[in-house]
Each structure stands twice: as C-alpha cells, then as structure tokens.
Chains A and B, each alone.
Chain A
Amino acid sequence: MRYIRSRAITFTVSILLWLLLSFSLDWQHLLVGAFAALLVAWMMGDMFAGQPGKWLSPRRYGWFAFYMFVFAWECFKANIDVAYRVLSPRLPINPGIVKVKTTLKTETALTFLANFITLTPGTFSVDIEKESGYIYIHWIDVKTQNIEEASRIIVSKSERILKEVFE
C-alpha cells in the first residue's frame, strides 16, 4: 500500500480527535472510531501528512508550542487595537492594500502564515501568489508602501518561527 506512513499519521490524529470528542473509552465507541478513522485515512492518502518525516521530530512540536504562545499574545493585542479603533470617535484608520514578500514555500506554512497575519494587529491577508511568494495584505493603518519594509514589519516575526515548524 502506498503512503503507509502518511496514512498512519492521519489515522492516529483522527482517532485521537474522536476519543476527545466522544470522551469515553467504551469498546463500542472505540470500534466505531477506529472504523471511521480507517476510512478517513484510506480516503486522504497523503493529503493530510505530505511529508511524514516532519511529524516525528520533537523539535518542531517545541517550536509549535512557542508559536501558539506568540499567536495568543498577538491575537489579544489585535483585539485591543481593533476595539480602540472602533470605539474612538474620530475613527483613526488609514487603510490600504500592500504587498509583502515571504520566503516560506510549503503550503501548510503559507496557510498558517496567512492565518497568523489575519489574526494579528491591523493586518489581514487578501491573496497569496504561491510561486513568487507575494502576499497581498489589507492594512488598517498603512505605515509604509515599500515591499521590504512592510515585510519586515508584518511577516518577519512569525516567518522565523513557522520556518522552524513546517520547513
């Protein structure tokens, strides 16, 4: 069978999710869950875990935990920022769509980067060009229109962490 390692990872993740959702170790639950997870693993092939080797290195999980902390803090800051802009009577916004460049290549990393950008202060990704690595970002308070400078302000921080996790 092809993609045996990818399928094993998909199976493990889906049965863990099933166990959390059903929250019981009854044999009937386990049987149905194992059957459903097998079906999912068989259908997904290597779509979920494209490069199974990456799932086995503990260093990536450490970086991912660190990423979650950074993400939670940035998300909180973003909310304070938007709440301030929305509630202030003068409506202090200065919006526009800017273009930034990223060095990330894999699809998972780009997805996480776009999500990170959307949930961090004042920025929100509109489109990605995967080949050239450009991301179009709607910025609620445009500080610069220069590509390098905007990249430094918006993406460089999360890019470093995501590179360690996904590439």
Chain B
Amino acid sequence: MNETASLVFILVGISFDLFGCIGLIRLPDVYNRLQASTKCVTLGTCGILFGVFLRLGFSAGGVKALICIVFVLLTAPVAAHALAKGAHKYGVKLWERSVCDKYTEDKK
C-alpha cells in the first residue's frame, strides 16, 4: 500500500516537473516562464520528496525529505521574486500582447 502510494506521488511529481519544463519552452517571455517554472516545479519536487518520505517512513532519510519540502517551499518563490525584479530592473520587456504594466508606469 505504502509502496503504491509513494510511486503515485513520485509519478505525479515527475509529470508536473515535465509540465513546468514544457511551459518554460512554450510561454513567450521571462515573467510567464517564471510563472510556469516556479509553480509546477515546486509542486513537482515536493511530490517527489513526499513520495520518498512515504517509502522511507519516519527514518533519518524520510524526515530529511520532509524538511526539504519546507525548504523548497520557502526558497523557490524568493528566487522567483529576485529573478523577476532583476529582469524588470534590467529592462527586459513584457510580451508584446501583454495587457498592462503598472510597474513600468509607476517607476517612470
């Protein structure tokens, strides 16, 4: 039972990681790509780690996997903010069909 559940979690995690990578290629600009990569890769990686935890149970390895989940959840969004803010500061344009850009309007 535990084996099956852990395999399911790992498979779901890997497929979300794959969706994130597809998004990284298909979406048009830096900001949209960050959307896809942060969200999907965060949940995908957490899924894989949770699968590892289910397989190992409350042992040294399993608890480390749980702590890694917390670590990924706290750091991935911060890295994304830093990348987006840096890109905007450096002057990377939004996609030409974007609706609005209040940030540029306010910075002028």
Contacts and interface: CB of A to CB of B under 8 A. Distances in A.
Contacts of A124: 31, 34-35, 38, 80, 84
Contacts of B16: 79, 83
Contacts of A126: 31, 81, 84-85, 88, 103
Interface residues of B, number: 44
A99 interface: yes
Interface SS of A by simple majority = mixed
A126 B94 CA distance: 13
B78 interface: yes
A61 to B, nearest CB: 16
A53 to B, nearest CB: 24
B77 A93 contact: no
Contacts of B39: 75, 78-79, 82, 118-119
Interface of A: 17, 20-24, 75-76, 78-79, 82-83, 85-87, 91, 93-99, 114-115, 118-119, 122, 124-127, 136, 138, 140, 142, 145
